[in-house]
Amino acid sequence: MRRMRRCTGAVAALVVVFAGTTFITAAKAQDKSANSAEQDAKDTAREYYAKGKKAYDEGLYEEALEAFKIAHEAKPHPAVLKSIAECQVQLGNMRGAITTLEQYLAAPQAAGKKEVKKRLAEIKSLLGTTTFETTPQGAQIAIDGRLIGETTPATVEVPTGKHEVTFTVDSYEPLIKSIEIQNAKENLVRADFETEGTRISSPAPSGGDPVDDDIEPGDEGLYPSTAAVETDEEGPPTLFWVAAAVAGAGLVSGTVFGTMALNDEDYWQERHKPETKDAGRRNAIIADVSFGVALAAGVTGAIVLLLSRDEQEQGETDAKRTKVDVYPLAGADAVGLGTTVHF
C-alpha cells in the first residue's frame, strides 16, 4: 500500500511538472509570436516611412502621402501624422491637413504641440471661404482642373491665391473663370451661362431623302417614294388572342376535371359511395363544358384570324360589314358556345 501511494505521488508530481513545462513553453511561444508580429509592424512602418520621405523630397506628393499612410497603419505614431499633413498641404487639400493636425494634437503622447498649433494656424490662414453660384444652378465645379465634388450653389474652403475655375452644366460649353482668393474675407464667384456661356447647338436635320433625289425626271412611276411607303403589317387582332387564351384555359380545365372524374368513377366502382358518384358526375360536366368552351374559342379564333387577313386584302369597307357573334349554348346533357359570322 505504501509503495502504491509513493507511485501515485510520483506520477502526480510528474504530471504537475509536465503541465507547468507545457504552459511555460506555450507562453514563450506566444510571446515570441507577439514579438515577431510587433517587429514586423515596426519594419513595415520604417520601410514605408523611408519611401514616403524619399518621394516627398522628389516632389512626388501623392506617392509620399500613400506611403506615409501605410506606415501609420502598420505602426501608428503621431509623428507620421505631421508628414501626412504636409503632403496634403502640397496637394492643395488644406481641409484634410487641418483635420490631420487636429488629430495629432488630440493624441496624448504627441510631442511639440506648440509648433504644431502654429503650423495649424498657418494652414488655416491659407484658406479662404468661397461661395460659388451659377445661373442655372447645378453646375459642377473644378478648381485648377480638379473636380471638388460639389455643385452650385456651394460654399467651400479654397486655398488663397490665383486659381482657374471651370463650371460645367448641361446644354452649355464649359465656362472658365480666373479668380483670386483672399483670406479673412468672404469670396463670391458668380457665373451666368445665359449671358456669358455658349449653348451647345443641336445638329441640323438632314436635307431630304437621297433615294428620291437620285430619281431621274420621268421615272417617278418606276420607283416608289420612300416617304409614301407605309407598313400596314399588323399581327393578329386582339380578339384572336382572347379566343386563344380562352381555348387554352378550357383545355387545361377540361383535362384537370376529366382526370378527376375518371378517378371518382374508379373510386365509386370500388367503394360504391353515393357522394363519390355525384362528385364524378359534377367533374365530368365541368370537363365537358371546359372542352366545349375550348373548342368554340378555338373555332372563333380561327375565324377571326381568317377574317383579319381578308380585311387586309379587301380593305376597311368590307371589314366593317363583317360581324362575329359568340353566344352560350345549353342543353339537357351538355353546354358550350356557339359562333355566328355575318358577312
pLDDT of residue 64 exceeding 60, the answer is yes
pLDDT at 304: 73
Which cell numbers hold the place of 125? 490662414
pLDDT of residue 13 exceeding 70, the answer is no
The band of 15, judged by pLDDT with boundaries at 50, 70 and 90, is very low
Same domain, 113 and 138: no
Residue 125 CB partners (closer than 8 Å, separation 6+): 160, 183
Question: Taking a C-beta distance cutoff of 8 angstroms, is the pair 116, 139 a contact?
Answer: no
Single residue among 196, 216, 251 that ends a domain in this structure: 196
Single residue among 125, 154, 179 that ends a domain in this structure: 125
Q: Which residue has the higher pLDDT, 19 or 95?
A: 95
pLDDT at 66: 93
- Let me know if residue 307 belongs to a domain: yes
Q: What's the mean pLDDT in 84-112?
A: 85
pLDDT at 137: 92
pLDDT at 204: 59
pLDDT of residue 40 exceeding 60, the answer is yes
pLDDT of residue 280 exceeding 60, the answer is yes
Single residue among 196, 219, 254 that ends a domain in this structure: 196
Q: Of all residues in the chain, what percent carry a pLDDT higher than 90?
A: 16
Same domain, 121 and 133: no
pLDDT of residue 275 exceeding 50, the answer is yes
Return the H-helix or E-strand segment holding 84: helix 78-90
Same domain, 261 and 276: yes
Placement of cell 497603419 in the chain: 73
pLDDT of residue 71 exceeding 70, the answer is yes
For 137-167, write each residue's pLDDT tens digit. Answer: 999 999 888 888 889 999 888 888 888 999 9
pLDDT at 336: 58
Report pTM: 0.40
Whole-angstrom distance, CA of residue 34 vs CA of residue 105: 30
Best CA proximity match to 288, nearest among 250, 321, 322, 318: 250
pLDDT at 16: 46
**DSSP 3-state of 22:** helix
For 286-323, write each residue's pLDDT tens digit. Answer: 878 877 877 887 787 778 777 776 666 665 554 445 56
- Which residue range(s) make up the domain with 90? 37-125
Instruction: List the single range of 78-87, 143-152, 256-265 with lowest mean pLDDT.
Output: 256-265
Instruction: List the single range of 21-35, 170-184, 192-206 with lowest mean pLDDT.
Output: 21-35
- Let me know if residue 6 belongs to a domain: no
Question: Taking a C-beta distance cutoff of 8 angstroms, is the pair 291, 251 a contact?
Answer: yes
CATH number, domain at 175? 2.60.40.1120
Same domain, 78 and 168: no
pLDDT at 310: 63
- Let me know if residue 274 belongs to a domain: yes
Whole-angstrom distance, CA of residue 4 vs CA of residue 69: 67
Q: Which residue has the higher pLDDT, 17 or 190?
A: 190
pLDDT at 17: 46
Q: What's the mean pLDDT in 192-209?
A: 75
User: Which of 50-64, 94-108, 197-211 has the highest mean predicted lDDT (pLDDT)?
Assistant: 50-64
pLDDT of residue 65 exceeding 90, the answer is yes
Q: Of all residues in the chain, what percent carry a pLDDT higher than 70?
A: 67
Number of domains composing the chain: 3
CATH number, domain at 56? 1.25.40.10
pLDDT at 205: 57
pLDDT at 242: 79
- Let me know if residue 220 belongs to a domain: no
